[in-house]
Amino acid sequence: MSSKIKRNVLKSMIIGVLAYMGALGVPQPAQAEYADVVINNYADAAGMRPAVFPHWFHRIRFRCKVCHTDLGFAFKAGGNKIDMAKIIDGKFCGACHNGEISWSVENCALCHSGIPGQPTHFHGSTVQRLIAPAYKPLQDKDAKN
Amino acid sequence: MNHKTKAISFSLAMLMSAFAWNAQSYADEVTGVELPVMLAEVSPANIFNVNLKKPKSRNLPPAEDGIHDPENEATHSLQHPLDAYKGLPTSEYGNYVDWVKALDEGKLRPRWDRSDPNEEPFVLDLDIVRPVKASVPDVVFPHRQHTEWLYCSNCHPAIFIPQKNANQISMSAILLGEKCGVCHGKVSFPIETKTCRKCHSKPKPADWTPPLSEATLKNPWK
């Protein structure tokens, strides 16, 4: 092998190693359960971890109708503007997490278990997975705040 | 296009051709004269399927799933999905559970009322067939499987006017999270190649051919 080729092989090896290290540095996509919802309208700002709502866990126990008709959860991640005042008044999560139907509200860390800094989102949604998500203007009723 | 965008796109094009030129001469250098030409070799920038993100594993425990904080102690007392799914019929998408079959086989009995375990859902057994102009099978919307989980007012009238073919539905709307896509692709089964036929389930008649486009019908050189 000529020295020129040796140098080139070395060069391509270094580039390869750098590219590999670069790929390792890229944050890996989350692999949570399909339909897990991270809710973080206010939690981060108040110094709490974001809340994580697992659909899979709840749909084993309740049909959609219980939450989305009777308890009035709108079909919109973050759209219900849930806060602790509403929860202790028995609304939203508080309709069940009240020590009667399920464990009560002092178990803060069971709900507030998300990695800090995550935006409100629906994990694994088809829209999120699309390669070129289309621009969708935020409507007034969808506004997060 | 104004002048500014023209100038930008021109310089982008120049930049891209410069990259292509670079890559070409680099490839020539590496191969040199002594090494055989390897046609299958591609530059690291052109790895296979750059846009396809394949999940490496499924149904991970909360502490490893990338959205729960493993430093939060309570995270470790949350249930592992696979423990909850033991004995349930499986599927190849979403939660990898066949939720419809699980209900039908009585493997699950989720409550219809928050506190009364004996209240039964109001099930409507009515199929709505939606003919599709494209070559894919026609869509059958089954009320039965939906009303096992949902109440009429979850869909009517906010998402669908309750009248056959009164609603404009298209695949692009669904993929953007509207119409059927309000739930499918979020909580109910996702929209991917493996699920097309769950909705597109009524085969086309044997003599069906795709309608020809206007441009083909009017083509003067045909």
Query: Residue B212: inside a domain, yes or no?
Result: no
Q: What is the mean pLDDT of residues B180-187?
A: 97
Q: How far apart are the CA of B4 and the nearest CA of chain A, in angstroms?
A: 23
Q: Which CATH number fits domain A36-126: 3.30.300.30, 3.40.50.360, 3.30.360.10, 3.90.10.10?
A: 3.90.10.10
Residue B193 has pLDDT above 90, yes or no: yes
Q: Do B24 and B68 belong together in one domain?
A: no
B114:A124 CB<8 A: no
Q: What is the mean pLDDT of residues B199-212?
A: 94
Write out residues 192-211 of B within 8 Å (CB-CB) of A: 192
- The pLDDT, as a whole number, for residue B44 is 67
Distance CA B118, CA B112 (A): 8
Contact B141, B130 (CB under 8 A): yes
Q: What is the mean pLDDT of residues B207-217?
A: 92
What global pTM score does this model have? 0.87
- Strand-pair partners of B173: none
Q: Do B67 and B175 belong together in one domain?
A: yes
- The residue among B191 and B29 whose pLDDT is bigger is B191
Q: Do B29 and B112 belong together in one domain?
A: no
Pairing of strands B200-202, B138-142: antiparallel
Q: Do B112 and B32 belong together in one domain?
A: no
Write out residues 100-119 of A within 8 Å (CB-CB) of B: 100-101, 107, 109-110, 112-116, 118
Contact B153, A93 (CB under 8 A): no
A71:B187 CB<8 A: no
B66:A32 CB<8 A: yes
Which one-letter amino acid corresponds to residue B93? Y
Query: Residue B66: inside a domain, yes or no?
Result: yes
CATH number at residue B182: 3.90.10.10
Q: Do B27 and B92 belong together in one domain?
A: no
- The pLDDT, as a whole number, for residue B34 is 57
Query: Is the minimum CB–CB distance between A130 and chain B shorter than 8 Å?
Result: yes
Query: Is the minimum CB–CB distance between B67 and chain A shorter than 8 Å?
Result: yes
Render B128-193 in DSSP notation, one character per residue. EEE--SSSSPEEEEEHHHHHTT--HHHHTTTT--SSTT-S---HHHHHTT-GGGGTBTTTBPP-SG
Min mean pLDDT across A82-91, B45-54, B136-145, B211-220 is at: B45-54
B78 closest CB neighbour out of A4, A95, A113: A113
**Eight-state DSSP code of residue B114:** S
Write out residues 95-134 of B within 8 Å (CB-CB) of A: 95, 97, 99, 108, 110-115, 121
Query: Residue B218: inside a domain, yes or no?
Result: no
Query: Is the minimum CB–CB distance between B175 and chain A shorter than 8 Å?
Result: yes
Q: For B99-133, what is each residue's pLDDT tens digit?
A: 999 999 999 999 999 999 999 999 999 999 999 99
Give percent of chain A with pLDDT exceeding 70.
70
- Provide the domain limits for residue B20: 9-42
Query: Residue B4: inside a domain, yes or no?
Result: no
- The residue among B114, B116, B144 with the most chain A CBs within 10 A of its CB, best to mutate, is B114
Domain count, chain B: 2
- The residue among A126, A130, A142 with the most chain B CBs within 10 A of its CB, best to mutate, is A126
Domain boundaries, chain A: 36-126
- The pLDDT, as a whole number, for residue B8 is 56
Structure tokens at B13: 């094009």
Among candidate residues A23, A41, A130, A36, the one with its CA nearest the CA of residue B67? A36
Q: Do B33 and B116 belong together in one domain?
A: no
Structure tokens at B172: 């692009």
Strand order through the sheet with B127-130: B127-130, B138-142, B200-202
pLDDT band of residue A32 (cuts 50, 70, 90) is: very high
Q: How far apart are the CA of A145 and the nearest CA of chain B, in angstroms?
A: 21
Write out residues 27-66 of A within 8 Å (CB-CB) of B: 28-36, 38, 49, 52, 54-57, 59-66
Distance CA A41, CA A35 (A): 18
pLDDT band of residue A8 (cuts 50, 70, 90) is: low
Query: Residue B1: inside a domain, yes or no?
Result: no
pLDDT band of residue A136 (cuts 50, 70, 90) is: low
Q: What is the mean pLDDT of residues B51-77?
A: 88
Distance CA A105, CA A88 (A): 7
Contact B185, B191 (CB under 8 A): yes
Q: For A46-102, what is each residue's pLDDT tens digit?
A: 999 999 999 999 999 999 999 999 999 999 999 999 999 999 999 999 999 999 999
Q: Do B101 and B134 belong together in one domain?
A: yes
Query: Residue B100: inside a domain, yes or no?
Result: yes
Residue A23 has pLDDT above 60, yes or no: no
Q: For B70-94, what is each residue's pLDDT tens digit?
A: 999 999 999 999 999 999 999 999 9
